[in-house]
Chain A
């Protein structure tokens, strides 16, 4: 490969990495919100994205509409599901040892994975008639419409989330609870209610992530595992408290994964996780933490 050809290949990977990273930012935002506000360690996060992606797929194939439209129908379902999971599974283990929280959420992840495996079987499912499947050529680079659209939705949702957290009463209450739970309680914030709504909003973000994913790719029962890990890596890199920081971190991870696949697709995750090791060793509070 010539130098120019290599440069084009690398830049193409960077472009794809940015798109992937913006998607990861949405996946990680739900996790970061829940972890930040409630201090709950959720190992089932990626599996929730996976189940939600199956919902999107079901609606898309049944009504024959684009995944991004089905996503809008899925969001209220996930909000309610979030309330139920929070009441039934998360509330009983709030404030318990991390190991117990991990046990319960790993259990939830196993249940979701194997319900999906039993019901939908192992083969990947995708929406068969995507509208935005063309690739746009810009110079030597190719950009897929679906990725561009997902990235736009992702940026919009992240912007709305940031505004929500800084401008609404509920958003401010969430940030107050993140900063200091007991003081927030003393200031008259109903922490129970904040927890409930936080989890439900986190699940809505899960729904957005699943819609974006189905716009670009396919779902299978074990899809969620890597999403869980990558979201945690993004949270580790960013630290808690800043949506913009989380977005930047997720994009860095997306680019790293994309560049890794340039070496070989089989080592791309190794590259991401090696970065993770070094963050945990040398920068355990992340780069963008507010506290």
Chain B
């Protein structure tokens, strides 16, 4: 890890914590900040499969919901505290991902077909959950405390989410600089070539998928904590697409770009929804759409490309 990377992480953390302290008196802003940070963590996890490996995975809400619901059910039905449960939740999500990933990568499903397959996974799980568990909202028990990853104040919850976000960023940086990271980027550049030079593309895609789905599944419980409840609607195809969109707008493979996109667009989106949502519904999502078109046509390197340009301009 270079010094400039360390510095940017430290600055980002300092800024995030400073905002956290500033708004800690206001529960609404605190919750909003927590939600934005958690969303950024999901986007950062997606970056491993989408940004680094170049697989357009549209199932992140499936892993999030599955992990979150498994953790919640273990707590509610078996009394397993979520501090332990989240690891099981993450493992279940990763297990399902790998189970589907093995035949998917074995039979060479890629590009648009991979995207569609993962998008339909969200719908399948949504339908199955609704069929077997019913259309109801399930509420978390009335217990609070660190043992349940459900602290009494929003500020403490924000700290937990912030630690998760930091951890996901560090995992990203670690993978990116490791041997696996080089293989993953190789696969993203040209899968056939990397296969030809002897990279076990299936294995490395599976590893990326497993890491991403484990993190997403484990962090999924925090989303349940924010809502205090869960239902089949947690398997949300639109959310999965939004998460992938942030990764693309951020500039594929750039963790700072992905985080910046997640923070800026989610915060702006929530702001637009709270101020103009009654007058013009969907304005926040319209903005995502326009941003995607602009990035796709004019600037495929995304926000990361913009950052680099600014940096060059600064040094001149």
A positions within 8 Å CB-CB of B = 41, 89, 92-93, 96-104, 106-115, 117-118, 121-122, 221, 225, 229, 232-233, 236, 264, 266-270, 273-274, 276-277, 280-282, 284
- Contact of B120 with A by CB under 8 A: yes
A281 close to B109 (CB less than 8 A): yes
The residue on A at minimum CB distance from B115 is A102
Main secondary structure on A side of the interface with B: helix
- Contact of B229 with A by CB under 8 A: no
B288 close to A110 (CB less than 8 A): yes
A104 close to B297 (CB less than 8 A): yes
The residue on B at minimum CB distance from A110 is B289
B293 close to A89 (CB less than 8 A): yes
B270 to chain A, nearest CB (A): 15
- Contact of B292 with A by CB under 8 A: yes
- Contact of B95 with A by CB under 8 A: no
Most buried by A among B103, B116, B131, B283: B116
Partner-contacting stretch, out of B121-129, B140-148, B164-172: B121-129
- Contact of B113 with A by CB under 8 A: yes
Q: CB-CB contacts of B230-265 with A at 8 A, as 1s and 0s?
A: 000000010001000100100010000000000000
B131 close to A277 (CB less than 8 A): no
B300 close to A113 (CB less than 8 A): no
A276 close to B116 (CB less than 8 A): yes
The residue on A at minimum CB distance from B285 is A114
B184 to chain A, nearest CB (A): 15
| Supplied contacts A103-B245, A104-B293, A267-B131, 17 more A-B pairs, CB within 8 Å | A98-B56, A98-B111, A103-B295, A108-B289, A110-B292, A111-B286, A111-B293, A118-B283, A121-B281, A229-B120, A233-B120, A264-B131, A269-B124, A270-B127, A273-B124, A276-B117, A284-B108
- Contact of B54 with A by CB under 8 A: yes
B104 close to A281 (CB less than 8 A): yes
B49 to chain A, nearest CB (A): 12
Chain A contacts for B130, CB-based, 8 A: 266
Chain B contacts for A117, CB-based, 8 A: 281-282
Q: CB-CB contacts of B289-314 with A at 8 A, as 1s and 0s?
A: 11111011100100000000000000
B131 to chain A, nearest CB (A): 5
B128 close to A114 (CB less than 8 A): no
B positions within 8 Å CB-CB of A = 54, 56, 100, 103-104, 107-109, 111-113, 115-117, 119-121, 123-124, 127-128, 130-131, 135, 237, 241, 245, 248, 252, 280-283, 285-286, 288-293, 295-297, 300
- B56 interface neighbour in A99, A112, A232, A236, Cβ under 8 Å: A99
Chain B contacts for A92, CB-based, 8 A: 297
B308 to chain A, nearest CB (A): 18
Chain B contacts for A232, CB-based, 8 A: 112, 116
A111 close to B123 (CB less than 8 A): no
What 7 A-B pairs have minimum CB-CB distances, sorted nearest first? Answer: A107-B292, A110-B289, A114-B282, A104-B296, A273-B120, A111-B289, A270-B127
A102 close to B104 (CB less than 8 A): no
Chain A contacts for B103, CB-based, 8 A: 281
Q: How far apart sit A149 and B281, CA to CA, in the bound complex (Å)?
A: 36
Chain A contacts for B127, CB-based, 8 A: 266-270
B297 close to A93 (CB less than 8 A): yes
Most buried by A among B121, B128, B297: B297
Chain B contacts for A97, CB-based, 8 A: 300
B100 to chain A, nearest CB (A): 8
Q: How far apart sit A117 and B100, CA to CA, in the bound complex (Å)?
A: 35
Q: How far apart sit A284 and B117, CA to CA, in the bound complex (Å)?
A: 12
Q: How far apart sit A103 and B299, CA to CA, in the bound complex (Å)?
A: 12
Chain A contacts for B100, CB-based, 8 A: 277
B120 close to A282 (CB less than 8 A): no
